[in-house]
Homo-oligomer: A and B are copies of this chain.
Amino acid sequence: HLFSGDRVGSRDNPELRSVMDSGVKDNQNFTFRRVRLVIYGDISNFLYLYIQPDFATTVRNQSGGESSLHFAQLRDAYADIYLTKDHEYRIRAGQSKVPFGWENLQSSQNRIALDRNDAINSAVPSERDLGLFAYYTPTHVQELWKDLSKKGQKTSGDYGVLGVGIYNGQSLNKEEANDGMYFVAHSTYPFDLGFMSDSLSGQVLEVGADAFSGKFKPTFGNFKTFDDSINISGSTIEANSGKNRDFTEQRVAVHAILFPQPFGFQAEWNWGNAGALNVDNARIEQTSLSGGYVQAMYQIDDFYGNWIPYVKWQTYRGVWKANANMPKMEVDELEIGVEWQIMKALELVVNYSHMNRTNMNNSAFGQAEGDVFRAQLQWNYY
């Protein structure tokens, strides 16, 4: 990573940090973002199991109060129970991705940009939760998605053209904290544009919309800004907000993706209402949120490997619920980059971003702006 400007931060210029990549901070060289193993298999025609631990989880408060890195923790652990032989209808039980948004569902190995967008990822940080989901995928859509994958297109995986689910909602690998559950509904549909004109045959546009509703119970902690102009204790915020209170979260999202053959386009947006810290009166209140991204990309095949240059712009104004006190974040970011698939199992992404984002990673909140250059080497096994 290379940074312009101050990295350590000061009273006038907080450190630039990103909730999306913990490697964006002071004093970093090599880091693992994820080390994952997948164990899966068809147990019968009607049962499929999938378990994915991650080996890049940090455990805090170890020897000398330091963190210890690279522990194994579950990401996914679910069973797909197929209700029909053609696998059009299925129940997914266990810990898995929550079907809200499109980039959220896309695996990191398929995603072109280094990070997911904050606006829609803030709906389900870490993308997964423990629950029960039902999906419907007609056979011809199963075929279309498989066909796109074979051509090297990066789909979001099969989460149905329609999906509904209930889940705990306190975020991945956190204890459930209330009796309420989250309800989610997901839709997406890929159209072959050949019906418009022969010249567009094979071009695929996927569009869809999602919604969810649930109750989230915040945690509390001290809140201060980097320049100490605001400094509130966690117990004050808790007392003001109401002890043991849940906050309703409701969101709707839309997405549209034109797969790059060779030119592609991708956009998502979401709007909603959720609890968020109002620093003026030191309490969590119901607040509106909105944000999304647009991305354009171009695929070049078989020129010393495959190349996908891309440009992405994102913005978000709203809550980041994973933090104590449910603080608000502001993000505006423009990035350009290129993914180079050196061979099937090895890819290098080089990326330049201009970021303007709230530093959420430590208790010294504040808006930080800066330029970040990152290189990421990723190897996959199949």
Contact = CB atoms under 8 A, between A and B. Distances in A.
Given A29-B176, A30-B167, A55-B53, A62 B61 contact: yes
B379 A43 contact: yes
Contacts of A55: 51, 53, 72-74, 77
A302 interface: no
> Chain copies in the assembly?
3
A79 B30 contact: no
A346 interface: yes
Nearest first, the 6 closest Cβ-Cβ pairs linking A and B are: A70-B74, A72-B72, A69-B173, A43-B345, A30-B130, A79-B379
Interface string A23-52: 000011111100101010101101101010
A132 interface: yes
A200 interface: no
Contacts of A174: 66-69
Interface stretch (A177-185, A191-199, A279-287, A307-315): A177-185
6 contacts: A35-B51, A35-B77, A44-B344, A71-B73, A79-B346, A81-B346
Contact of A69 (B27, B60, B175): B175
A323 to B, nearest CB: 9
A131 interface: yes
Interface in A52-92: 53, 55-64, 66-74, 77, 79, 81
B381 A32 contact: no
Given A47-B346, A72-B73, A179-B27, A66 B32 contact: no
Contacts of A73: 55, 68, 70-72
Interface in A323-382: 324, 343-346, 377, 379, 381-382
Given A66-B219, A69-B174, A324-B64, A74 B35 contact: yes
